[in-house]
C-alpha cells in the first residue's frame, strides 16, 4: 500500500552510495590440478583473470612434476603440498597434507 511505502521512506535512512574499500575488490582464488591443467591455467590467466585485482592458482605439486612457476600471467601459483601426498580416498589420515 502507499501508506506502507510512505512510512518506510520516513523510517528508513536515505540510500547513499558508499565509497569503495581500499585494496582489492575482486580476488580470484582458483584451485587447479598441476600439471594436468597447466594449459587451462594459462587460458584463465589470459582471459577472465584479467578482471581480477588479485589472482592465485592453488595446486598440490605431485612428486616428480618438476618446478612450479611463480606465476602464470598475472596470477601467482601457490603450492599447497607440504610433504609427500598420498592419493587414498578411503583413508583421510593417509594424506599428510590433508588435501582430500
Q: Is the peptide bond before 40 cis (omega within 30 degrees of 0)?
A: no
What grid cell was written down for 37? 591443467
The pTM of the whole model exceeds 0.75? no
Q: What does the pLDDT look like over 8-19, one tens digit per residue?
A: 777 777 788 888
Return the residue matching grid coordinates 502507499.
2
Which whole-number Å values give the CA distances from 77 to 6, 29, 41, 48, in the listed order?
Answer: 54, 10, 10, 16
pLDDT in tens, 86-99: 555 666 555 555 54
Amino acid at each position: 500500500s502507499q501508506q506502507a511505502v510512505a512510512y518506510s521512506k520516513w523510517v528508513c535512512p536515505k540510500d547513499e552510495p558508499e565509497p569503495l574499500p581500499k585494496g582489492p575488490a575482486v580476488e580470484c582464488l582458483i584451485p587447479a590440478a598441476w600439471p594436468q591443467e597447466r594449459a587451462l591455467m594459462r587460458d584463465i590467466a589470459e582471459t577472465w583473470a584479467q578482471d581480477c585485482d588479485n589472482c592465485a592458482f592453488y595446486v598440490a605439486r605431485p612428486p616428480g612434476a618438476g618446478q612450479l612457476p611463480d606465476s602464470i600471467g598475472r596470477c601467482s601459483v601457490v603450492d599447497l603440498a607440504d610433504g609427500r601426498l598420498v592419493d587414498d580416498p578411503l583413508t583421510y589420515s593417509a594424506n599428510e597434507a590433508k588435501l582430500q
